Amino acid sequence: MGSLLSQILEQVRSYWGFDALRPLQEEAIQASLDGRDSVVVMPTGGGKSLCYQVPPLLSDSTHVVVSPLISLMKDQVDGLLTCGYPAAAIHSGHTPAENAETFQNLRDGHLRLIFVSPERLLTSSFLRLARELDIRSFAIDEAHCISQWGHDFRPEYRQLALLKQDFPKASVHAYTATATQRVREDIAVQLQLENPAMLVGVFDRPNLTYRIVPRTDVYAQTVEVLRRHKNEGAIVYCLSRKDTEAMAAALRKAGVNAASYHAGLDAKHRLRTQEAFANESLDVVAATVAFGMGIDRSNVRCVLHATMPKSVDHYQQETGRAGRDGLEAECVLFYSAADPIRWKALIAKSAAEADASAEVVAAHQQLIEQVRRYCSAPQCRHRALSEHFGQKFPKDDCEACDVCLNETEGVEDATETAQKILSNIARMERMSGFAFGVAHTADVLTGANTEAVRKRGHDQVTTYGLLKGTPKQSIKNLIYQLVDQELLSQSLDDRPVLALNRASWEVMRGERRVQLVRPPSQEIKKTRAGEISWDGVDEGLFGQLRTLRSKIAEKQHVPAFVVFGDRTLRELARNRPTTENNFRKIHGVGNAKWEKYGRQFLNEVVSCCERHDLSTNSFNNARDQATPVMRATESPAKVAAFSLFEKGASVDKVATSLDRAKTTVFGYLGEFVASTQPASIEKWISKAHYEAVAHAACEVDSKLLKPIYEHLNESVSYGEIRLVLAHLETCGESE
């Protein structure tokens, strides 16, 4: 294994208790250590923080992190301190004396990271100190705030452009989850980065299961989904402030522990809700998009959208708040074809009020169109999202969306049903001389005996009651699907009415076939996709550990996930270690956390196992089974990788199934090859690359990676070079 990687892993293991790096983390850390500017784009939960947390440990220097919100800084610093990592933040939430103490600690060289807001960074006192300390690296978190093309533009970020001028020897590293190319490029330009390393991660989040469900009764549907997530963190995004309050009230009535959150509530109230959600005394927040950037609870297991969001980018950001810990989570969007119509009307209204240009309005309308297509097309949601962000999706079946899980059920006689709906619309209009809305149309089709139906004489049209027996909500839904597919038009005003268009007549004449989806009737089982499943986890013990975690978090005024993440608790409840040695092998148990919390959690495991007669120290599922060549102390990820290599799995496959960086997997493979000494490694590298590396190693007469890499004009990756060298070594050929 290359020495830099092992140095990084040593720190990562000892501070955070992680066994391997995530994709692009090594490259991002390398850029920082090399002093090369960078733009690092990873999806939410991708692990950006680690990229700026590790370098100052290795270079033994102090780096600055610019962060837009006090709550974000606070959570990060709390998290770092529990890992024993020396970090602090300077902000207005601290007293002047506390900030002065931090300044002193900085001067004394006690801190590796200092978090500040952009405004604070650019004060003369902080700039003076930064010069005095000769700061060589600035990390800009949530860097898309600098771009007016981003969705969280903050004018104060603009002044960060001065950094490169004021600190010519320092490198600047921008971190964002924003996926659009335009914003990425704008970040580099605005920050005046010099030849930045552009590190763009994969946007797909395999641990999220996406579902788009036709909206019928949003409260009942939300309650049904939340039942699958009892005692778990969930966010329900609603369109308006009023909607969030109505949703929270409906949820509470149904016995769900929920609160609302929106920008109209006073700051104290919002903070209380945010803290309750973070320390897990509150499970569900019904919120507008104002509940966003400061929320980094890592174990949100469900994100719901009560209506369609206003762009695919917003959807990616909002759903990205689910499952940041890498464990499975569910994202459900309740969609109605009325949503895009409502959005377009809202855009037109606010454009008129703000006197916006036609160009701006058209750009917004286009975003609505994109998200409408995303919601209404019955295609793999993971694929559609990846492609939206310009990335290929490698699988045919994601196994983690309603479409691939075959949950969407087609209406058998869809064309005939569509003809009934359309001809009913035609007849009503012919009789009355004007058009009607969705609800009345559905009433007539279902044969309802309402005053409006009788008054208009619509119980006399031949299509009256043609869909008798189908619930009104379902008929409304089918009508919206026709609007969605543009087989029927709906006006854009306050009281939208339905109108037939050319496609409607084609359907009625039988020239066009129609496909419709039935609102799901069968109960959806909770899909537990994701890297680490619940297999073997004793859920009773998990619950006990969770309660212990909440108690500690509350006492120490830190978010629960800062104590231990869900993944750690699940591994504890699966493997049930009762010795210090075994406990410290668990993911997320670094040295400081063991010292701080280890005993309490260990005691809980021991007593629960005794009470319920559970087996202990059972490192016995597939991920934990040691292959013969492994030592008992090896990390679960490495053990799993070895067993996959034994079955001939490719590097890509292992990287995907273990959610590890390819470089890390090559490292494992090098070790696997060294210990199993296979005659050939053709399964993992082409013959041409093998021979090229072997030849280059002779030519440059070195076993160092860099000279070989350069000799080969950077045409073979470091990972492959490392692998060939490991194999040559086993053949005794590299000496």
Stretch that binds ligand ADP, among 13-21, 413-421, 450-458, 715-723 (CB under 6 A): 13-21
**E-state strands within 306-390:** 329-335
Are the C-beta atoms of residues 287 and 238 closer than 8 Å to each other?
yes
Q: Per-residue x/- marks for ligand ADP, 237-266, CB under 6 A?
A: ------------------------------
User: In angstroms, what is the minimal distance from the CB of 132 to ligand ADP?
Assistant: 30
Stretch that binds ligand ADP, among 18-26, 218-226, 229-237, 472-480 (CB under 6 A): 18-26
Using rule CB under 6 A, residue 623 touches ligand ADP: no
Using rule CB under 6 A, residue 670 touches ligand ADP: no
Is 352 exposed, middle or buried, given 0-12, 13-18 or 19+ CB atoms closer than 10 A? Answer: exposed
Q: What are phi and psi of 64, to 5 degrees?
A: -105, 135
For residues 74 and 70, give the distance between their C-alpha atoms in angstroms, rounded to a whole number: 6
Considering the complex, state which of residue 21 and residue 341 has its C-beta at the smaller distance from ligand ADP. 21
Q: What are phi and psi of 444, to 5 degrees?
A: -65, -45
Considering the complex, state which of residue 324 and residue 476 has its C-beta at the smaller distance from ligand ADP. 324
CA distances from 448 to 438, 441, 664 (A): 14, 10, 64
User: In angstroms, what is the minimal distance from the CB of 298 to ligand ADP?
Assistant: 4
Using rule CB under 6 A, residue 324 touches ligand ADP: yes
User: In angstroms, what is the minimal distance from the CB of 3 to ligand ADP?
Assistant: 19
Q: Per-residue x/- marks for ligand ADP, 280-299, CB under 6 A?
A: ----------------x-x-
Quick one: tokens of 174?
Answer: 């921008």
For residues 214 and 479, give the distance between their C-alpha atoms in angstroms, rounded to a whole number: 12
Indicate the SS3 state at residue 308: coil
For residues 584 and 593, give the distance between their C-alpha atoms in angstroms, rounded to a whole number: 10
Neighbours of 649 (CB within 10 A): 19
Closest Cα to residue 225, out of 384, 407, 46, 385?
Answer: 407
For residues 76 and 71, give the distance between their C-alpha atoms in angstroms, rounded to a whole number: 9
Q: Which residue has the tokens 């830099």?
A: 4
Residues 527-586 that bind ligand ADP (CB under 6 A): 565
Considering the complex, state which of residue 215 and residue 584 has its C-beta at the smaller distance from ligand ADP. 584
Considering the complex, state which of residue 214 and residue 292 has its C-beta at the smaller distance from ligand ADP. 292
User: In angstroms, what is the minimal distance from the CB of 142 to ligand ADP?
Assistant: 9
Considering the complex, state which of residue 178 and residue 463 has its C-beta at the smaller distance from ligand ADP. 178
For residues 288 and 361, give the distance between their C-alpha atoms in angstroms, rounded to a whole number: 22
Using rule CB under 6 A, residue 325 touches ligand ADP: yes
C-alpha neighbours within 13 Å on the C-beta side of residue 688: 3
Considering the complex, state which of residue 47 and residue 667 has its C-beta at the smaller distance from ligand ADP. 47
The angle formed by the CA atoms of residues 631, 636 and 640, to the nearest 5 degrees, is 90
Neighbours of 9 (CB within 10 A): 20
Residues 19-58 that bind ligand ADP (CB under 6 A): 20-22, 25, 42, 44-50
Considering the complex, state which of residue 297 and residue 382 has its C-beta at the smaller distance from ligand ADP. 297
Residues β-bridged to residue 517: 410
Residues 116-135 that bind ligand ADP (CB under 6 A): none
Q: What are phi and psi of 679, to 5 degrees?
A: -65, -35
User: In angstroms, what is the minimal distance from the CB of 210 to ligand ADP?
Assistant: 18
User: In angstroms, what is the minimal distance from the CB of 20 to ligand ADP?
Assistant: 6
Please give the size of the binding site for ligand ADP, defined by CB under 6 A: 18
In angstroms, how far is the first alpha carbon of the chain from the final one?
18
User: In angstroms, what is the minimal distance from the CB of 294 to ligand ADP?
Assistant: 13
Q: Per-residue x/- marks for ligand ADP, 90-119, CB under 6 A?
A: ------------------------------
User: DSSP for 99-138?
Assistant: HHHHHHHHHTT--SEEEE-HHHHTSHHHHHHHHHTT--EE
User: In angstroms, what is the minimal distance from the CB of 140 to ligand ADP?
Assistant: 13
Stretch that binds ligand ADP, among 14-22, 63-71, 278-286, 358-366 (CB under 6 A): 14-22
User: In angstroms, what is the minimal distance from the CB of 147 to ligand ADP?
Assistant: 18
User: In angstroms, what is the minimal distance from the CB of 668 to ligand ADP?
Assistant: 14
Which residues make Cβ contacts (< 8 Å) with residue 109, sequence separation at least 6? 62
User: In angstroms, what is the minimal distance from the CB of 57 to ligand ADP?
Assistant: 14
User: In angstroms, what is the minimal distance from the CB of 12 to ligand ADP?
Assistant: 6
Considering the complex, state which of residue 12 and residue 265 has its C-beta at the smaller distance from ligand ADP. 12
CA distances from 340 to 306, 313, 492 (A): 13, 16, 10
User: In angstroms, what is the minimal distance from the CB of 311 to ligand ADP?
Assistant: 20
Considering the complex, state which of residue 38 and residue 49 has its C-beta at the smaller distance from ligand ADP. 49
Considering the complex, state which of residue 24 and residue 289 has its C-beta at the smaller distance from ligand ADP. 24
Using rule CB under 6 A, residue 18 touches ligand ADP: yes
For residues 249 and 41, give the distance between their C-alpha atoms in angstroms, rounded to a whole number: 38
Estimate the crossing angle of helix 662-676 against helix 651-658, to 10 degrees.
Answer: 120
Considering the complex, state which of residue 138 and residue 167 has its C-beta at the smaller distance from ligand ADP. 138
Closest Cα to residue 537, out of 475, 444, 481, 618?
Answer: 618
Considering the complex, state which of residue 22 and residue 383 has its C-beta at the smaller distance from ligand ADP. 22
Taking only Cα atoms into account, the Rg of the chain, rounded to an integer number of angstroms, comes to: 29
- Give residue 259's identity as a one-letter amino acid code: A
Considering the complex, state which of residue 64 and residue 661 has its C-beta at the smaller distance from ligand ADP. 661
Considering the complex, state which of residue 143 and residue 605 has its C-beta at the smaller distance from ligand ADP. 143
Using rule CB under 6 A, residue 711 touches ligand ADP: no
The angle formed by the CA atoms of residues 574, 578 and 582, to the nearest 5 degrees, is 75
Using rule CB under 6 A, residue 315 touches ligand ADP: no
Stretch that binds ligand ADP, among 15-23, 327-335, 444-452, 576-584 (CB under 6 A): 15-23
Considering the complex, state which of residue 289 and residue 308 has its C-beta at the smaller distance from ligand ADP. 289
Considering the complex, state which of residue 25 and residue 274 has its C-beta at the smaller distance from ligand ADP. 25
Q: Which is it for strands 489-490 and 498-499: parallel, antiparallel or unpaired?
A: antiparallel
User: In angstroms, what is the minimal distance from the CB of 44 to ligand ADP?
Assistant: 4
User: In angstroms, what is the minimal distance from the CB of 723 to ligand ADP?
Assistant: 21
Stretch that binds ligand ADP, among 16-24, 271-279, 397-405, 539-547 (CB under 6 A): 16-24
CA distances from 203 to 301, 389, 392 (A): 19, 8, 10
User: In angstroms, what is the minimal distance from the CB of 426 to ligand ADP?
Assistant: 52
For residues 450 and 458, give the distance between their C-alpha atoms in angstroms, rounded to a whole number: 10
For residues 437 and 490, give the distance between their C-alpha atoms in angstroms, rounded to a whole number: 8
* Residue numbers at the binding site for ligand ADP (CB under 6 A): 18, 20-22, 25, 42, 44-50, 296, 298, 324-325, 565
